[in-house]
Amino acid sequence: MKSQPNSTKKPFHLPTGPRESRRHTRKMDSKGIYQRALRSAFEKLHPKIAVKNPVMFLVWVGTIVTAMMTVNPHLFGPVAGENLRLLNGFIAAILLATVWFANFAEAVAEGRGKAQADSLRSTKSDTLARQLFPDGSIQEVKSTDLRRGDIIKIVVGDMIPADGEVIQGVASVDESAITGESAPVLKEPGSDVASSVTGGTRIISDELVIRVTADPGKGFIDRMIALVEGADRAKTPNEIALTVLLAVLSLVFLIVVATLPALANYANSPVSVAILIALLVALIPTTIGGLLSAIGIAGMDRVAQFNVVATSGRAVEACGDVNTLVLDKTGTITLGNRLAEEFISVNNHSAEEIARVSLAASLFDETPEGKSIVALARKYGANDVDFDSSTAEGVEFSARTRMSGTNLPDGSEFRKGAVEAIKGFVRSRGGKLTPDLDAAYERVSKLGGTPLAVCQNNEVYGVIYLKDIIKTGIRERFAQLRRMGVRTVMLTGDNWITAEAIADEAGVDDFIAEATPENKIEVIQKEQAAGKIVAMTGDGTNDAPALAQANVGLAMNSGTQAAKEAANMVDLDSDPTKLIDLVTIGKQLLITRGALTTFSIANDIAKYFAIIPTMFAAAGIGDLNIMGLISPNSAVLAALIYNALIIPALIPLALKGVEFKPLTANQLLQRNILIYGVGGAIAPFAAIKAIDILVGLLNLA
């Protein structure tokens, strides 16, 4: 019989190695991506697809009209000037390139997901599964015929055919296909954490009987494939609002340009339709319009590369908005296991005595804490030989009793557990309590440790000081989060004093002591009522309601199926600190959109100064040609070429995301306005001038 861990939290399965080395677990063929994107960019010219991107659709229509004007420059009335065919042809070609570049950006972003999906799909093969029927017969069926609720048996070497819950057997499973983690994971029934298996993983020892929990095509891997492929990519609320803004700007400029010929004719400086289209394309926000979907896809992709599966882009975006992080102490702030540091004897007992009693109480405790108590007790000279473990009986830890221990055949009962629980135990056996127990308890609590009282029958021997080890660097991360305006709340089963000490040491903003999993949902609801966006991690079935309630719920892959289904993200590495990185990714996603929008609008100033003065040179405003562009035609071409080339130039930025620094909002605004606003206003002046000189040298116009 196994004893259970003596804390309410189970230790997390923590992956090894620094995070950087764990990224990019699934290798992708980047050359293939670009080749595929080159072709796909042409396919996206199909009107049915093109109409989905309003800004680019306008450019596409403009391309067709200018192409017609290349054939017949005087299609829409007589136009003055020479080499009109050449000019219109150039304009049409540049516009086509603009659309193609935008398609290419989207195709590259999608391509990365597709490549990932392919590698995931390779894990899914049609295998034969052994289905167990209620009458006990076994029959081989196709894995695609398995339905939710079916019972199957898998033996060593088998690919697990579907997501399921272990109901019988113990086996190690290689989950590297989805987590990239090569160390096998132990699966067994009953336990919350270790009982769920994922389709596509391989069993490498023994055999399991599992109950299928997902219908074909709805399993974890299928969901992941759909996500990384972007098949069911719905627009996020923010993207929708931005789409509206871009459509409005386009419509405003469409009205401006469409009404211009009447004004220009009246002012005796008529303009050709091709030039008007060029002006329209230069003004509408093509840069952001062309890259918007690529940014969103790449954002999801970044999350995926981080080994986190998000169920929707909405969840990723919400990460950037998070105000409050609700974090479990164990596994997130502190290392999963606490270690026994010291025995504090009370009631005039010696340290040796308490070591002996602690050893006896921990005999059946297999948790790291239990083992560390045994190790420490041995240091104090306690010896296993004093006990006959074969006749002894383990008392399991439960959340209700909050203690565990050992019963010996001679009737002595050894217990260790929460101080209050032990006090009750002792009192129930008619024992007396001494004030130095409380003193010891407080001392340990103030040190941030967990005090475990130990007793034999009705006699309290002392307190074990279990020390929490706070993860290195966590304090700095919390400081960063605070600067970003994210509040951290620590949840712990510890008492108030211990919790405060740890909260202090780790630098969290708030903590909830003596918390039960049910407390989580209360904390989240309270924060949400104050208008906050809350993120949390969880792995147990009892975390599922809270994960569903939180705006961002990150479930651990090692967790239960229920938790994974309730959450909107699953971390394949089961590393709860990743929540902090997800906040950064979410913000980066929004900032990238904002930066390119700002850049796109700021660019318009230079484009105006390039096109309008040369366009209306006949109206005598040539002096506004402050860039000294060579001719009206070269000015238009330079502005358009800049407009087209800026899209591929910014593809890397769109895919990688704008560099995020953990600054306050005001510092971020200052920095980004300077780079993308002011920079976006100035840079195109230089670029357009340079292109104009080139166009002049090549004598294109």
Partner 1 sequence: MSRFQYIWQTFAETFSESTRRRHFSTLQILLVMCLNLALAPAVLAATGAQISRSQAYSIAALGLLTFGLGAYLVFVIFQPEKF
Partner 2 sequence: MIAELWQIGLTLGILVAIVPVFGKYMADVFLGQKTFLDPVVEPLEGLIYQLGGIRIRKSMTAGEYIRAVLFSNLVMGVFVYFIIISQGNLPLNPTKLPAPSWDLALHTAISFVTNTDQQHYSGETTLSYASQMLGLGFLMFTSAATGIAVAIAFIRGLTGKPLGNFWVDFTQSITRILLPISIVGAIVLLILGVPETLAGPVQVTTLEGGGQFIARGPVAHFEIIKQLGENGGGFFGINSAHPYENPNAASNLIETLLMLCIPAALIYTYGVFAGNTKQAWLLFGMVFIIYIGLILLTAIAEYQGNPLVNSLLEGQQPNLEGKEVRFGWAQTALWAVSTTGTMCGAVNGMHDSLMPVGIFATLFNMFVQIIWGGQGTGTAYLFVNVILAIFVTGLLVGRTPEFLGRKIEKQEIVLASVVMLVHPIAILIPSAITLAFPAQLAGISNPGFHGLSQVIYEYASAAANNGSGLEGLGDNTLWWNLSSSFSLLVGRYVPIVALLLLAEGMLHKQTASASTGTLRTDTVLFTGVTAGVILILGALTFFPVLALGPIAEGFQIAKGG
The residues in 30-59 that bind partner 1, with binding defined as CB under 8 A, are: 47-48, 51-54, 57-58
Angstrom distance (rounded) from CA 155 to CA 147? 20
Would you count residue 623 as binding partner 2 (CB under 8 A)? yes
Q: How far is the CB of 522 from partner 2 (least distance, A)?
A: 18
- 570: amino acid identity, one letter: V
For partner 2, the closer of residues 167 and 248 by Cβ is 248
* Contact mark string toward partner 2, 421..450, x via CB under 8 A: ------------------------------
Q: Are 162 and 216 in contact (CB under 8 A)?
A: yes
The token pair at 293 is 């979907």
Going by the DSSP 8-state scheme, the letter that residue 501 receives in this structure is: H
- From the list partner 2, partner 1, none, partner contacted by residue 218 (C-beta under 5 to 8 A by kind): none
Among 49, 128, 251, 626, binds partner 1 (CB under 8 A): 251
The token pair at 160 is 């697990």
Distance of CA 107 to the CA centre of its chain: 22
- From the list partner 1, partner 2, none, partner contacted by residue 54 (C-beta under 5 to 8 A by kind): partner 1
By CB under 8 A, the residues from 2 to 31 that bind partner 1 are none
Q: Are 676 and 659 in contact (CB under 8 A)?
A: no
Angstrom distance (rounded) from CA 625 to CA 19? 54
- From the list partner 1, partner 2, none, partner contacted by residue 77 (C-beta under 5 to 8 A by kind): partner 1
The token pair at 48 is 């049915």
For partner 1, the closer of residues 255 and 439 by Cβ is 255
Among 255, 375, 682, 686, binds partner 2 (CB under 8 A): 255
Q: 3-state class of 623 per DSSP? A: helix
Q: Which of 24, 26, 56 is nearest to 41 (CA)?
A: 56
For partner 2, the closer of residues 151 and 245 by Cβ is 245
By CB under 8 A, the residues from 24 to 43 that bind partner 2 are none
Q: Are 186 and 164 in contact (CB under 8 A)?
A: no
Q: How far is the CB of 84 from partner 1 (least distance, A)?
A: 14
Angstrom distance (rounded) from CA 532 to CA 523? 11
Among 33, 37, 41, 65, binds partner 1 (CB under 8 A): 65
Q: With contacts defined by CB under 8 A, how many residues of the chain interact with partner 2?
A: 75
Angstrom distance (rounded) from CA 531 to CA 558? 31
| Residue range at the interface with partner 1 (CB under 8 A); choices 75-83, 198-206, 360-368, 545-553 | 75-83
Q: Where are the alpha helices (DSSP H) in 217-321?
A: 220-229, 237-266, 273-283, 286-305, 313-321
Angstrom distance (rounded) from CA 425 to CA 414? 11
Angstrom distance (rounded) from CA 235 to CA 317? 11
Q: How far is the CB of 254 from partner 2 (least distance, A)?
A: 9
| Residue range at the interface with partner 2 (CB under 8 A); choices 52-60, 168-176, 262-270, 494-502 | 262-270
Angstrom distance (rounded) from CA 626 to CA 642? 17
Per DSSP, which regions of 457-616 are E strands? Answer: 459-467, 487-491, 510-512, 534-538, 552-556, 569-571
- From the list partner 1, partner 2, none, partner contacted by residue 485 (C-beta under 5 to 8 A by kind): partner 2
Would you count residue 242 as binding partner 2 (CB under 8 A)? yes
- From the list partner 1, partner 2, none, partner contacted by residue 51 (C-beta under 5 to 8 A by kind): partner 1
Angstrom distance (rounded) from CA 286 to CA 638? 16
The token pair at 500 is 């405060």
Going by the DSSP 8-state scheme, the letter that residue 159 receives in this structure is: B
Per DSSP, which regions of 475-581 are E strands? Answer: 487-491, 510-512, 534-538, 552-556, 569-571
Among 175, 181, 229, 317, binds partner 2 (CB under 8 A): 317
Give the CA count within 13 Å in the CB-facing half-sphere of 414.
25
- From the list partner 2, partner 1, none, partner contacted by residue 101 (C-beta under 5 to 8 A by kind): none
Would you count residue 532 as binding partner 2 (CB under 8 A)? yes
Q: Which string of DSSP letters, residue by residue, matches 116-130?
A: HHHHHHTT----EEE
For partner 1, the closer of residues 284 and 515 by Cβ is 284
Q: Which residues are catalytic?
A: 328
Among 71, 155, 619, 690, binds partner 2 (CB under 8 A): 619
Among 60, 100, 461, 616, binds partner 2 (CB under 8 A): 616
By CB under 8 A, the residues from 353 to 392 that bind partner 2 are none
Q: With contacts defined by CB under 8 A, how many residues of the chain interact with partner 1?
A: 28
Would you count residue 62 as binding partner 2 (CB under 8 A)? no
For partner 2, the closer of residues 7 and 250 by Cβ is 250
Residue 444 CB contacts under 8 Å (≥ 6 apart), including other chains: 344, 450, 451, 463, 465, 498
Angstrom distance (rounded) from CA 196 to CA 176? 15
Would you count residue 595 as binding partner 2 (CB under 8 A)? yes
- From the list partner 1, partner 2, none, partner contacted by residue 672 (C-beta under 5 to 8 A by kind): partner 2
| Residue range at the interface with partner 2 (CB under 8 A); choices 156-164, 298-306, 443-451, 670-678 | 670-678
Angstrom distance (rounded) from CA 63 to CA 56? 10
Would you count residue 591 as binding partner 2 (CB under 8 A)? yes
Among 1, 139, 266, 410, binds partner 2 (CB under 8 A): 266
- 2: amino acid identity, one letter: K
Going by the DSSP 8-state scheme, the letter that residue 144 receives in this structure is: G
| Residue range at the interface with partner 2 (CB under 8 A); choices 132-140, 233-241, 333-341, 346-354 | 233-241
- From the list partner 2, partner 1, none, partner contacted by residue 267 (C-beta under 5 to 8 A by kind): partner 2
Would you count residue 483 as binding partner 2 (CB under 8 A)? yes
Would you count residue 61 as binding partner 1 (CB under 8 A)? yes
For partner 1, the closer of residues 247 and 673 by Cβ is 247
Would you count residue 254 as binding partner 1 (CB under 8 A)? yes
Would you count residue 485 as binding partner 1 (CB under 8 A)? no
For partner 1, the closer of residues 50 and 596 by Cβ is 50
Would you count residue 339 as binding partner 1 (CB under 8 A)? no
Q: 3-state class of 400 per DSSP? A: coil
Positive or negative, the CA dihedral 367, 369, 371, 377 is negative
**Residues shown for the chain:** 701
By CB under 8 A, the residues from 206 to 245 that bind partner 1 are 235, 240-241, 243-244
Q: Which of 592, 611, 608 is nearest to 657 (CA)?
A: 592
| Residue range at the interface with partner 2 (CB under 8 A); choices 4-12, 56-64, 98-106, 253-261 | 253-261
Q: Which string of DSSP letters, residue by residue, matches 185-237?
A: EEE-SSSTTTTEE-TT-EE-SSEEEEEE-S-TT-SHHHHHHHHHHTTT-PPPH
For partner 1, the closer of residues 78 and 435 by Cβ is 78
Residues that bind partner 1 (CB under 8 A): 47-48, 51-54, 57-58, 61, 65, 74-78, 235, 240-241, 243-244, 247-248, 250-251, 254-255, 258, 273
